[in-house]
Amino acid sequence: MRKSISGNVLMLALCLFGFGCSEESGEAENGSVSSDGGIAVFDESAAIARGQSILAPFKKNLQAALMEGMGQGPEHAIKVCQLKAPAIAGEISTDSFQVGRTSHRLRNPSNAPESWMQPLLDRAVASGTNAVPMAVSLPDGGAGYVEPIFIKPLCLGCHGSEVPESIVASLDELYPADSARGFSEGEFRGLFWVKFESAPTAE
């Protein structure tokens, strides 16, 4: 029994956060007028690098929080995820940037995509297993970064077609509108996202 519980907990740790599983207009702007009258062109590569750097501690802290609750079983780990994930996102976020997760098939409705994310999410869904990190400039002068999460074998115990009954009961209680089940191995699951001020530019 202990071996089975440990397996389910490890599966949950890897799939919920993508570790081994990953108010603005939606239109992005490619350039803006610089202070000297020139055109400052959005530097997507620099924005991706900045987004990855900001996102790294968010993912690390999410994983650590879930591991902390793992000893009490997968159902408890799900509840820890429900409470800890939003709190950690809030702790990592600052006045200069915010972080989070979103998906086309939501488990938690509070993770619904903002307007700027939707075109990127649509593009990632269309790309499927070929989805890649992307960054866009935003009309307010900031930038948005997204990073795909894919379903790995261990994720299927929480997001697949045959979720254990004990986990189903917990999910049904916490997420009555859950649409994040029925995935297949390798399928696109959703996005990590970062929104930050001062989009990088290359004049």
Kindly report the average pLDDT of the chain as a whole number: 81
Q: For residue range 107-149, list pLDDT tens digits in order.
A: 999 999 999 999 999 999 999 999 999 999 999 999 999 999 9
- Encoded amino acid at 131, one letter: A
Note down the domain range covering 9.
2-202
Q: Is the pLDDT of residue 78 over 90?
A: no
- Looking at residue 159, what is its pLDDT? 85
Using CB atoms within 10 Å of the CB of residue 134, give its burial: 0 to 12 exposed, 13 to 18 middle, 19+ buried: buried
- Looking at residue 70, what is its pLDDT? 61
Query: How many structural domains is the chain composed of?
Result: 1
- Looking at residue 21, what is its pLDDT? 47
Q: Is the pLDDT of residue 155 over 80?
A: no
Q: Cα separation of 161 and 22, whole Å?
A: 20
